[in-house]
Amino acid sequence: MPREPILSAESIEAAAPASAPSRETLARLRDDEIALRPRHMGEMVGQRKVAERLAIAVDAARKRKEPLGHILLDGPPGLGKTTFATCIPRDLGVALQITSGAVLTAPKDLLPYLTNAEEGSVLFIDEIHRLPKAVEEFMYPAMEDFRVDIILGEGAGARTVNMKLRPFTVIGATTRTGLLSAPLRDRFQIREHLEFYSIAELSEIIRRNAARLRVVIDDEAAEKIARCSRGTPRVANNRLRWVRDYSTVKANGHASLELTDAALAMLGIDELGLDPQDRKYLETILRVFHGGPAGVEAVAHTMNTATDTLTDEVEPFLLRSELVVRTPRGRKLTSKAYEHLGETPPESEPELPLFQ
């Protein structure tokens, strides 16, 4: 079992609560983005099974008057992890603190949040997979026993004191669960994975948010945006904001299907939701590598793009849309990709043996 780190009194002084980033700074979101987020889990569209399970946990904690168990939310970006993390404390009627694993570089950075946590409050740590090892180990006793270890004095006369914390709930959000250590994962009593949204769910989100943004949108236009949003509410909201801007200039704020088609075409968004970079990726494999297989690094160099950009931003949606497959020899276009690009797929060739 990993050794639990301890914190010195000098570190505590250096990490006085006054020096901690303000809640407003860490939760800096645009006003319209805040307005588009549901305030309670009952208002959320999609992720219903997750919401139902979390609602039971929230109700049980409220009835027992106990802190909610620690929660880990994972899934691709833009599916509602932050929304859940902000709705849960509202449903509980408790305070919320927000921070990110990227800014917690040492245990002293985490200490103000732990000591300021109110009874039953929620500490939301976004990108929790980016916590350094020392900070992660410092959290173990705080999450399990609601205490932190502090060293008083120096040398042979130094002694360790356990500082008790008020019971609180940690909500962690991550897009890469595999990067979390097993000891940290095991300290979350509730673990939920968020899935992509259906066209019907995204259409409903778009209609609701269009009313909040004071734009009139036809049902066909809402469905069009939904089909071009990659199954992700964040993408849908961004597309909606662009259609709102376009309709404000071109049609006095009325988003019809024809106008929505024109607005998305101006962004280079096609009927599958692919943007210019997605199509460039497919066209590069088709034109330069004759449909593949091709290594992702070779494709990235040809496109003059970072490999991480392709693997993290471009490929996930293309793989999920069955436009590209990963083979042991590299990326390869599917017949669906050829059809989307208006090309005829080549006749299937027998697989060549791989050389070891």
Residue 125: beta bridge partners? 99, 172
Q: Scanning the structure block, which residue is given the tokens 């009325």?
A: 254
Q: How many other C-beta atoms can be found within 10 angstroms of the C-beta atom of residue 317? A: 21
For residue 126, indicate whether it is catalytic. Answer: yes
| From 74, 82, 174, 334, the catalytic residue | 82
Among the options 81, 108, 224, 331, which is catalytic? 81
Question: Do residues 100 and 81 touch, judged by C-beta distance below 8 A?
Answer: no
- The verdict on whether 82 is a catalytic residue reads yes
Q: Which of 175, 177, 302, 307 is catalytic?
A: 175
Q: Which of 126, 174, 187, 230 is catalytic?
A: 126
What's the burial of 353, exposed, middle or buried (CB within 10 Å: 0-12/13-18/19+)?
exposed
Name the active-site residue from 108, 230, 234, 331: 234
345 Cβ partners below 8 Å, 6+ apart?
A: 291, 333, 335, 338, 339
Residue 81 among the catalytic residues: yes
- DSSP letter for 294, please: B
Identify residue 162 by its one-letter amino acid code: N
**What distance lies between CA 38 and its chain's CA centroid?**
16
Concerning whether 177 is annotated as a catalytic residue, the answer is no
Which residue has 């590299």 as its token pair?
330
234 is catalytic: yes
Write out the catalytic residue numbers.
Answer: 81-82, 126, 175, 234
